[in-house]
Amino acid sequence: MIRRAVRYAGPSALTRTLCGDLLGAREYSLLLNAADVGELLAALRTTSYAAAVNEPGRRFDYAIRDRWRKNVEKISARAPGAAQGLCLAYLARLELEAVKTLLRGIAAGMERRRLLALLPPLPAASSIPLGAVVAAADLEQATAALKGTPYHEAIAAGIEASAAQPPARATSLPSAIETALDRGYFARLITAAGRFSGGERAMIERMVGLMADAENLLAVERLKKIFRLSPESVAPFLIPFGARLDASRRRALLAWNGERPAPYGGDTGASPCALRVLLLRVLNAEARRLLFTIPFHAGLLFAFTIMSDHEASDLIAIQEAKRWGLARNEVGDRLIRVPAGDDIGESGV
């Protein structure tokens, strides 16, 4: 315990400082009550997001997520090896999103300047050869350009899986590729979690498992509603990791028709929120719990990485709502960290 406290003293102190920058109920209320995007930006300039929203010429969502990226990389730079690897493995979701966006755009023949404008901020140590991928004329060339990255094998596996499906059960090639990419991403997270031992490992693997369970539920909901797939056809698209889905629940998940309640173990019955938001709220609550368990452990860094990612998603959701003129009571069901009713509830951390 003493040895671990020494290793985590610096990154834990930095993480708790950054946790103090997370928005609380008062700030959320101020943002939600903003009349328009201009007032929202003015309100954000009174928070720790001031520098991000003051950067000229950047999309709002890009600036908010880039701030999150910088904070995670700041923590990772001071973290012990295994904890650093875990945070960076989670941060790779930006790269994953960029690869999916690039492949979708190239397959659709999208104009490259427009495609580049849609990309998220990339990690400082990104493995994507962006110039070569953007220059690709088609999906085959883009796949070749990604050789040597963590994504090449997954894309090839997705193409192979799509080709092997009988026509009656086939989904689109992009869906097969994205499933393979998601599996690769979670395999990296599981590998990073496996470098820990004891209580640390149990906490972190539970968090990764909750993330995987959420992805599986959303995949089933999407594939059954859009592609009308049978339970047997859905199974190959699930991520083979999870925290709560034993064999009986996995069978229930495959047979699920997309109606509430979902076979997850959480309360998804009465709430009008989208299933994605409900699942991420469960994950966020678990992350908050980790902040108050053991003072010096990788779970603290991982929890902040997840919670601050969710806060960035909330801010983007609020900005979109203000842009489209939605009323405050229409925004609450889209938020992860803080419910947005008349009484906004307890503050952030």
Residue-wise pLDDT tens digits, 132-178:
999 999 989 999 999 999 999 999 888 887 777 665 454 567 778 88
pTM recorded for the entire structure = 0.86
What's the pLDDT score for residue 142?
94
What's the pLDDT score for residue 94?
97
- What confidence tier does 340 reach under pLDDT thresholds 50, 70, 90? very low
φ, ψ for residue 58 (rounded to 5)? -115, 140
Residue with the two structure tokens 């050789």:
147
- Say which residue, 349 or 245, is predicted with more confidence: 245
Tokens of 327: 């009323």
- Residues 235-275: tens digit of each pLDDT: 777 787 766 666 676 666 666 666 656 665 454 444 556 77
Listed in order, strand segments (DSSP E) in 215-339 are none
Give dist(CA 15, CA 72) in Å, integer: 9
Give dist(CA 92, CA 120) in Å, integer: 11
- What confidence tier does 297 reach under pLDDT thresholds 50, 70, 90? confident
Tokens of 174: 């992009």
Tokens of 59: 């999309």
- Say which residue, 279 or 253, is predicted with more confidence: 279
What's the pLDDT score for residue 272?
53
Q: Which of 69-78, 221-230, 253-262, 340-349 has the lowest mean pLDDT?
A: 340-349
What's the pLDDT score for residue 222?
74
Half-sphere exposure of 67 (CA within 13 A, CB side): 26
What's the pLDDT score for residue 346?
40
What's the pLDDT score for residue 257?
64
- Residues 171-193: tens digit of each pLDDT: 567 778 888 999 999 999 999 99
Say if residue 124's pLDDT is above 50.
yes
Give dist(CA 59, CA 38) in Å, integer: 14
High-pLDDT (> 90) share of the chain, %: 50
Q: Which of 217-226, 282-291, 298-307 has the lowest mean pLDDT?
A: 217-226
Stretch 318-334: mean pLDDT: 88
Q: Please name which of 279, 239, 241, 282 lies closest in space to residue 260, comparing C-alpha atoms.
A: 279
What angle do helix axes 93-107 and 81-91 make, rounded to 10 degrees?
30
Say if residue 345's pLDDT is above 60.
no
Q: Please name which of 186, 123, 125 lies closest in space to residue 154, comparing C-alpha atoms.
A: 186
Stretch 196-209: mean pLDDT: 89
- Residues 19-36: tens digit of each pLDDT: 999 999 899 999 999 999
What's the pLDDT score for residue 331?
87
What's the pLDDT score for residue 270?
47
How confident is the prediction for the chain on average, in pLDDT? Answer: 84
What's the pLDDT score for residue 171?
53
What's the pLDDT score for residue 253?
63
